[in-house]
Amino acid sequence: MEWGILGLLLGFFFFVIVPWAALRASGRSNTALDQIAQLKSELAVLREELGSMRGGSVPILVAPPAYEVAPAETAPEAEPLLSAEMQAPDSEPAAETASPEPEALEPLASPAETIPLAARMSAEAHAEPAPPFERFEQEALQEQNAREEREVPLELEAQIEPPPPRRDIEETIGSRWAVWVGGVALAFGGLFLVRYSIEAGLFGPDVRLLMGAVFALLLAGASEYLRRREAPLPFNAPGALGNANIPSVLAGVSVLAGFGVVFAAHAIYGFIGPTPAFAMMALIGLAALAASLLHGPALGLFGLVGSYVTPFLIASTAPDFASLSLFIAFVTAIAFLLHARRPGRIVTLAAVAGHAAWTVLIAFTMRGLLWPSFLAGAGAVLAWLLLKELPLWRRRGELAPWRPVPCDLTGLVAIAVPLVISGGLWVGIGAPGPLYLAILATIAVGLVAAVRHRDLAPLALVAAAGAVGMILLWPRQDGPLGLSPATLIDLVRLSIAPDAGPGLTWTAALFAVVIGGLPFAALVTRRWAGAGGYVERGCLAFASAVAPVCLLLATTLRVNGFERSPGFAALAALLVVALFLASEFLLRVERASTRSRNPLALIGSAAYAAAGAIALGLAVALALRETWLVVGFAIAAAGLAILARARPLPLLRTMSASLATAAFARWVWDPILTDMGSWPLLNWLIPAYALPAVCFWVAALALRGTQDRPKMVHQALAAFFTAAFVLLQVHQLFVGPDLTPDLARIAGHYAQPRNRLFEEVACLVIAAGLLGAGFQRLGRGAGNAVFRIAGLAAAALTILLAIGGLCALLNPLFDGTTVDGWPVLNRLLCYVVAGAALGALGFATSREGGSPVADALSACGAFLVSLGLVLITRHGFAGPQLSPVDGASVGYAESVMIAVVLIALTAAARLWHDAAQGRIARLAVVTLGCIAVGWTVLALGFGRNPFLDRHTVEGPVVFNRILWGYGLASLALAGLGLWLREGFPRLSRAFGHAAAAAAIGCAFLLLRHALHGPHLSSEVPITLAESGIYAALGFMVAIAVMIAGSVRWLGRSVPVDPLAATLAACGFFAGVAVIASPAVTDQPLAGVLILDNALVGYLLPGAIAFAATAWARAHLARPLIARAYGVAAILGALAYVVTEVRRAFVGPDLFSANVGAGELYAYSAAILLYGIALLALGFRAGWRDLRLASLGIVTIAICKAFLIDMSGLEGLLRALSFIGLGASLVAIGLAYQRLLRRGTNTAASEV
């Protein structure tokens, strides 16, 4: 009985309460939507009236009442009226538009507020001669004044509660989230009800299925009832409300429930067999697809997914692939028909994806490719017929004007996906008859669709690519080709084995005729996509022109492995003739069809001309092979250039450039680097590189007159092969006939005493510099941008070889090779020679005018000379092995001498700057000066600083190596700084600062040497007293900076923020205090109690910080600065107090014993007394910040008492500790109460 009552309650809840709540929510949402529609309709009327006022004619319109406005009809009624008024002045003649003088209207007796806004605006428009918009502003101003007069007083207005703010979240939750969450809740409620019934055993399987079916039917009925009852959404309703459609959600849930019931009846309980279950699920899915015409694409997606998933839910030991394929095709056709009836991209693309997935699944499941091929071809045919041809047939009687159309992405994907899938099956499985026909069908459908529909013109390129891919991936004689990484590499290298199966040649010929002819016919007849815009005609033209060339290339690759073939060369030549004739014929058609001067107007003929040039290069490639192919291409390019000079046809110039590009591509693919001969200059590099260079120079001269792309191509290749000839001649001089790069030779460089690789790179640097200077000289004329770029490229190569080669990879400092020979006369002199040569070239080039090439050569020259002199200096001190073994391999004397050399190089650069007056010379001065200053700072300030490297300094107190090293560097820096003041003021100041730093460092080290002896660094880097002195000096400097307000930097006064100086001084104090703390150094205190080094280390800086606090409070209006100094002072004094308490108990060695009970109590008393003293001082001086700080100190004492003393102390000490703490806190409280009472009385007396 209890289970029955529970079942009735659950049924009442799910079948009565839940539908009633859904209907109630739907009614409220409909009311809200009606109100929104009414408001928007009134706004539309007001906008209409305002637009009519601006247009000059003001009809008298009276806004209808709010309850008479229909949500779906208001906006469509307002738009025609507004458009008619806007078009009236254009449609009526001028004589009819003239209106008589408007008569003045008598004022109405009713108040202005009772007159409708539209009537008032119309009446005033007829009565006032002023412009309408000005009258609208005047009326708004009058209404504002009337509102101000009617405002209530401020006292009464303060008593009126403001209206509640708008809660947009209510609209969001009520109209969107409630719908979707309710749908999900219904779905989960059904699932949970079934699960609960199963677990509890309330009902049998038949009752459960019946309840699920009833639940699905009730949801479907409620969905239809709400759809019929629900008012349509207005045209301008937010998209969010349109997405939250209650009927569609309920219908979707009903579809899911129906699928679940049928699946449970078949798979779980076995009530029905596979065939009835399949039929019922298919009917549910198709019904959902059909209902999507009423409920929108969301329900269609439910049905489509359910239809495609249905075969997975029905188990079968012997699947019928024929019926399954027909069912999948039928579902896809239904989805495409729905798209034709009610376009929806989501459902259509989902149908394409589902159809493709089933095609692949069936292909890899069944034996054979009959039905996968059928699905692939059917997918493309159905997409073409139902998505494109059917809508076109329905609009066959309409005459639409020509206009640009966007690409139909849905149709493009729907037709292209079957082609891609069939291609994948073609590669992976093989080439049986059905798949062959399917690929032919998909390519034909794509081509026909691209020709007939302008928005599918890119399909021509897809179809052409599919045809070329089919030929290129034609199965082998023993099976499918497959697509492994090795196969991809062979295809890219054009070296695949010629083992294609039968039928390839005729298929390629068929594709070439069809793909080349059909788009060409459309372009010539100017029909369909052939009459479209630039994009459409370009797609057809390039597909039609390039596809035969690519098909010929793929055929010769698969038939004879792209070897030399006169037959294929003859076919390529015939194709060249055909393409050139097609280009000329189509050029006449395009010129007769358009008057536009846009080059894209002739895109069709240009595409065929370009394809013809490619075919010509292919013909030459098939006729010539191996080494002389580059020379053949170059000679052919030069011949065509000379012919273009005789007969100025643009096509010939393009063909010449195409052949030149083919020559370069062939060289990139297989450069000629072997068997060049052993003679230094008379070798095979002349015909292999010099002859093509001469051909390209001749072609560039023949094409002179117009600086177009063909001429630029020939100029670029002439420069390239000339540079290659020169550089390879230098390389052949050192390596012999085989110029192939050899890593073994580079590795052997480290074992050869002469280092021929180093000498070769030095010669290559000079050769590249000569090429850069020559190209720069050729590029100075007008229209020679290519040679200017070539000069820049040669300069970049020079920089790469000089910096990356000589200065980095082959630098004796890095590669570990020895430098044999005399101290100066060795291979390091190559740096100076190469640098001097580049500097001379840069100087000579810059005299004709500044250029980046001259700057690059000059910069490289300066860098190489400087590096060479530094390395020679290093060689003089270190010997043949220049690589530093460790940090100590560069000695003190060498560091000083290198600093002097760098300073001398800076002086030499200054002389060069005075002679050349170039920016590179100036940059060299600045760069070398910065390097000199940087080296001096790093080497003498850090690396070889006797205080830091822990080396002893022998000699007397003053006259030792510190004096001559730092003194010499300081004098050199100071002298050069004085010389650089005229032209380089900033660098001069840098040298002056470096000289001052060197002098200060020299004085500090001499003082350190006088105090500590030969060992300038000891175990204790800094003592406590020394840290106090440094911190006190830091606070004094900060105070001085705050008083001055600025510092002198780079020759000018730079303002300094007092807060920055404050933070720096306080941070320095904290740092040195921590470093010199006895806890870190483990050193005992020096002196007697109270008067020891803690007084100097902690209390002295704290006292100066306290003085800085007082000055900041008096002279600066920035409390943060005074607080920072105050914190430093308070913490310094606290450290002193704690340290002295510790010393009073354990003596100078602060860490010689543990903390006792008495010491622990003394800490509490001292900290508490210190805090009370600060509090008293704060009361006395009236410093609130000091009182707050004292409370912080007292808080420390409190925390110590409760956290440490409570467990660390015992007996009387613990009691006294807490008694004293309590008394102190009470006293502090009384003091604060008195202070507050005094402040209250003062405030009352002032009031």
- In this structure, the answer to whether residues 131 and 14 fall within a common structural domain is yes
Q: Which of 998, 1018, 1038 is the last residue of a domain?
A: 1018
Mean pLDDT is lowest, of 176-180, 300-304, 347-351, 801-805, for: 176-180
Percent of the chain with pLDDT over 70: 72
Residue 27 covered by a domain: yes
Radius of gyration of the chain, Cα coordinates, nearest whole angstrom? 47
SS3 1047: strand
Q: How many helices (H) and strands (E) does the chain have?
A: 51, 2
Q: How far apart, in whole angstroms, are the C-alpha atoms of residue 17 and residue 552?
A: 74
Q: What is the mean pLDDT of residues 643-668?
A: 77
Tokens encoding 694: 């001469």
- In this structure, the answer to whether residues 1042 and 942 fall within a common structural domain is no
Q: What is the mean pLDDT of residues 574-583?
A: 90
SS3 258: helix
- In this structure, the answer to whether residues 1085 and 1138 fall within a common structural domain is yes
| Phi, psi angle pair for 70, to nearest 5° | -90, 135
Q: pLDDT for 943-964, tens place per residue?
A: 888 888 877 888 787 778 888 8
* Confidence band for 97, pLDDT divided at 50, 70 and 90: very low
Q: Give the dihedral of Cα atoms 6, 10, 15, 16; nearest 10 deg.
A: 80
Cβ–Cβ under 8 Å, residues 612 and 546: no
The top-scoring range by mean pLDDT among 51-65, 168-182, 1052-1066 is: 1052-1066
Residue 173 covered by a domain: no
Tokens encoding 1115: 């002279």
- The per-residue pLDDT for 759 is 86
Cβ-based neighbour number of residue 1094 at 10 Å: 28
- In this structure, the answer to whether residues 996 and 1077 fall within a common structural domain is no
Residue 370 covered by a domain: no
- The per-residue pLDDT for 103 is 38
Mean pLDDT is lowest, of 27-36, 652-661, 870-879, 1174-1183, for: 27-36
Block residue for tokens 């002193």:
1136
Residue 637 covered by a domain: no
Tokens encoding 254: 């009903």
Cβ contacts of 1119 within 8 Å, gap of 6 or more: 1185
Question: Rounded to 5 degrees, what angle do the CA atoms 338, 343, 347 make?
Answer: 65
The DSSP string of 456-501 is GTHHHHHHHHHHHHHHHT--BTTB-----HHHHHHHHHT-----B-
- The per-residue pLDDT for 3 is 38
Q: Judging by beta carbons within 10 Å of its beta carbon (0-12, 13-18, 19+), is residue 597 exposed, middle or buried? A: exposed
Q: What is the mean pLDDT of residues 1165-1184?
A: 82
* Confidence band for 656, pLDDT divided at 50, 70 and 90: confident
- In this structure, the answer to whether residues 1073 and 1189 fall within a common structural domain is yes
Q: pLDDT for 1121-1154, tens place per residue?
A: 888 988 999 998 988 898 888 888 888 887 777 7
- In this structure, the answer to whether residues 1008 and 933 fall within a common structural domain is yes
The DSSP string of 534-556 is HHHHHHHHHHHHHHHHHHHHHHH
The top-scoring range by mean pLDDT among 407-416, 485-494, 1139-1148 is: 407-416
Q: How far apart, in whole angstroms, are the C-alpha atoms of residue 158 and residue 946?
A: 79
Mean pLDDT is lowest, of 68-72, 148-152, 607-611, 766-770, for: 68-72
* Confidence band for 707, pLDDT divided at 50, 70 and 90: confident
Q: How far apart, in whole angstroms, are the C-alpha atoms of residue 912 and residue 897?
A: 22
The residue segments making up the domain with residue 1029 are 1020-1246
Residue 1052 β-bridge partners: 1049
61, 434, 439, 480 from 374: Cα distances, Å = 65, 8, 10, 20
Q: What is the mean pLDDT of residues 639-645?
A: 72
SS3 818: strand
- The per-residue pLDDT for 1052 is 64
Mean pLDDT is lowest, of 425-434, 529-538, 697-706, 1195-1204, for: 1195-1204
Block residue for tokens 């008495």:
1158
Task: Kindly tell me if the per-residue pLDDT of 893 is higher than 60.
Answer: yes
Nearest CA to 475 out of 428, 440, 517, 539 is that of: 428
Residue 1049 β-bridge partners: 1052
Rounded to an integer, what is the distance from CA 344 to the centroid of its chain? 33
Q: How far apart, in whole angstroms, are the C-alpha atoms of residue 325 and residue 366?
A: 11
Residue 1222 covered by a domain: yes
Q: How far apart, in whole angstroms, are the C-alpha atoms of residue 687 and residue 683?
A: 8
pLDDT mean across residues, the chain: 76
Tokens encoding 236: 């301008």
Q: pLDDT for 973-1004, tens place per residue?
A: 999 999 998 889 889 989 998 998 999 888 77
- In this structure, the answer to whether residues 946 and 1061 fall within a common structural domain is no
Maximum pairwise Cα distance, the chain: 121
Q: Which of 999, 1018, 1037 is the last residue of a domain?
A: 1018
* Confidence band for 14, pLDDT divided at 50, 70 and 90: very low
Cβ–Cβ under 8 Å, residues 675 and 731: no
Total number of domains constituting the chain: 3
Nearest CA to 18 out of 184, 213, 241, 158 is that of: 184
Task: Kindly tell me if the per-residue pLDDT of 239 is higher than 50.
Answer: no
- In this structure, the answer to whether residues 903 and 977 fall within a common structural domain is yes
The DSSP string of 1126-1170 is HHHHHHHHHHHHHHHHHHHHH-S-TTSS---HHHHHHHHHHHHHH
- In this structure, the answer to whether residues 1009 and 1153 fall within a common structural domain is no
- What is the 8-class DSSP label of residue 810? T
The DSSP string of 653-718 is HHHHHHHHHHHHHHHHHS---S---SSSSSSTHIIIIIHHHHHHHHHHHHTTTS--HHHHHHHHHH
- The per-residue pLDDT for 249 is 66
Residue 488 covered by a domain: no
Residue 1000 covered by a domain: yes
Q: For the range 1185-1189, what are the long-range contacts, defined as Cβ-Cβ under 8 Å and sequence gap of 24 or more? A: 1185/1119, 1185/1122, 1185/1123, 1185/1126, 1186/1126, 1189/1126, 1189/1127, 1189/1130
The top-scoring range by mean pLDDT among 207-221, 377-391, 648-662, 749-763 is: 377-391
- The per-residue pLDDT for 1182 is 78
Q: Give the dihedral of Cα atoms 105, 110, 111, 117; nearest 10 deg.
A: -60
Q: How far apart, in whole angstroms, are the C-alpha atoms of residue 1100 and residue 1094?
A: 9
Q: What is the mean pLDDT of residues 423-438?
A: 84
Q: Which of 1018, 1040, 1066 is the last residue of a domain?
A: 1018
- In this structure, the answer to whether residues 1009 and 1128 fall within a common structural domain is no
* Confidence band for 1084, pLDDT divided at 50, 70 and 90: confident
- In this structure, the answer to whether residues 1036 and 925 fall within a common structural domain is no
Q: How far apart, in whole angstroms, are the C-alpha atoms of residue 349 and residue 1033?
A: 78
- In this structure, the answer to whether residues 1086 and 1150 fall within a common structural domain is yes
Q: How far apart, in whole angstroms, are the C-alpha atoms of residue 450 and residue 351?
A: 21
Q: pLDDT for 455-469, tens place per residue?
A: 999 999 999 999 999
- The per-residue pLDDT for 662 is 85
Q: How far apart, in whole angstroms, are the C-alpha atoms of residue 753 and residue 1214?
A: 84
Task: Kindly tell me if the per-residue pLDDT of 1165 is higher than 60.
Answer: yes
Angle between helix axes 370-382 and 409-428 (nearest 10 degrees) is 160
Sign of CA dihedral 895, 901, 905, 906: positive
* Confidence band for 1210, pLDDT divided at 50, 70 and 90: low
Task: Kindly tell me if the per-residue pLDDT of 90 is higher than 60.
Answer: no
- The per-residue pLDDT for 794 is 94
Residue 702 covered by a domain: no
Tokens encoding 992: 């002056």
Cβ–Cβ under 8 Å, residues 537 and 498: no
Question: Rounded to 5 degrees, what angle do the CA atoms 694, 700, 705 make?
Answer: 155
Q: How far apart, in whole angstroms, are the C-alpha atoms of residue 951 and residue 948?
A: 8
Q: E strands of 345-401, at which residues?
A: none
- The per-residue pLDDT for 649 is 54
Q: How far apart, in whole angstroms, are the C-alpha atoms of residue 209 and residue 206?
A: 5
- The per-residue pLDDT for 301 is 76
* Confidence band for 562, pLDDT divided at 50, 70 and 90: confident
